[in-house]
A = this chain, B = another copy of it.
Amino acid sequence: MGRGGREKNGQPGARALDVAAAAGVSTATVSRAFNAPEKVAPEVREKVLKAAAELGWMPHPAGAALASRRTWLAGVLIPTLDNDVFASQVGALQTRLSAEGVTVLIGCSNYDADQAANQVRTMLARGVEALAVVGESHRPGLFETIAARGVPYVVTYSHRPGSSHPSVGFDNAAAFRRIARHLLDLGHRDFGLIHQPSIDNDRVVARIEGLRATLAEEGVALRPQHVREGPASIAFGRKSLRSIMDAPGPRPTAVVCGNDALAIGALLEARAIGIRVPEELSITGFDDVAMAEQTDPPLTTMRVDNAEIGQRAADYLLACLAGRQPSPPPPLESRLILRASTGAARSAA
Binds B, one of A22-30, A58-66, A203-211, A330-338: A58-66
* CB-based nearest B residue for A8: B150
Decide: A105 and B105 in contact? CB cutoff 8 A. Answer: yes
CA distance A151 to B290 in the complex (A): 39
- Write out, one digit per residue, whether chain A residues 46-69 have a CB within 8 A of any chain B CB (1) or not (0): 000000000010111111011001
Contact partners of A127 in chain B: CB under 8 A: 60-62
- The answer to whether the Cβ of A84 comes within 8 Å of any Cβ in the partner chain is yes
Select from chain B the residue with minimum beta-carbon distance to A105. Answer: B103
A264 interfacial by beta-carbon distance below 8 Å: yes
User: Which residues of chain B are near A105, meaning CB under 8 Å?
Assistant: 103, 105
**Is A2 in the interface zone, CB < 8 Å from B?**
yes
With A122-B103, A127-B61, A234-B294 known as contacts, the answer to whether A69 contacts B5 (CB < 8 A) is: yes
- The yes or no answer to A129 lying at the interface (CB within 8 A) is yes
Q: Is the CB of B87 within 8 A of A91?
A: no
**Residue A108, interface by CB 8 Å:** yes
**Are B63 and A66 in touch, CB under 8 angstroms?**
yes
Taken together as a complex, chains A and B put the C-alpha atoms of A62 and B87 apart, in Å, by 29
Rounded to whole Å, the gap between the CB of A80 and the closest CB of chain B is 7
A268 interface hit (Cβ, 8 Å): yes
Residues of B close to A265: CB separation below 8 A: 294
* Whole-angstrom CA separation of A94 from B56 in the bound complex: 29
Nearest-neighbor residue (CB-CB) of A58 within chain B? B125
Please, which residue of chain B has its CB at the minimum distance from the CB of A59? B125
Q: Indicate with 1 or 0, residue by residue over A101-136, a CB within 8 angstroms of chain B CB atoms.
A: 001111010000000000000101111010000000
Greatest chain B CB density within 10 A among A2, A60, A63, A321 is at A2
Q: Which residues of B contact A290 (CB under 8 A)?
A: 233-235, 261
Establish whether residues B65 and A2, one from each chain, have CB atoms under 8 Å apart when the complex forms: no
User: Max chain B CB contacts within 10 Å: which of A66, A71, A233?
Assistant: A66
Check A322 for interface membership: any CB of B closer than 8 A.
Answer: yes
Contact, CB under 8 Å: B3 / A150: yes
Nearest B-chain residue to A84, judged by Cβ: B82
Chain B hits for A70, CB < 8 A: 3
Q: Please, what's the 1-or-0 string for A1-26, where 1 marks a CB less than 8 Å from any CB in chain B? A: 11111011001100000000000000
Per-residue interface assignment for chain A, residues 74 to 86, with 1 indicating a CB less than 8 Å from any chain B CB and 0 otherwise: 0000001111100
User: Can you list 30 A-B pairs, Cβ within 8 angstroms, ordered by A?
Assistant: A2-B150, A2-B152, A2-B320, A2-B323, A3-B69, A3-B70, A4-B69, A4-B150, A11-B149, A12-B148, A58-B124, A61-B62, A62-B62, A62-B63, A62-B66, A62-B71, A66-B66, A81-B87, A81-B91, A82-B84, A83-B87, A91-B108, A104-B106, A234-B291, A235-B290, A261-B290, A264-B291, A264-B294, A265-B294, A268-B294
- How many angstroms from the CA of A321 to the CA of B4 in the assembled complex? 11
| CB closest chain-B residue, reference A268 | B294
B residues near A65, Cβ cutoff 8 Å: 61-62
A152's nearest neighbour on chain B, judged by CB, is B2
Give chain B nearest CB distance to A286 CB in angstroms.
17
Known: A81-B87, A290-B261. A148 touches B61 (CB 8 A): no
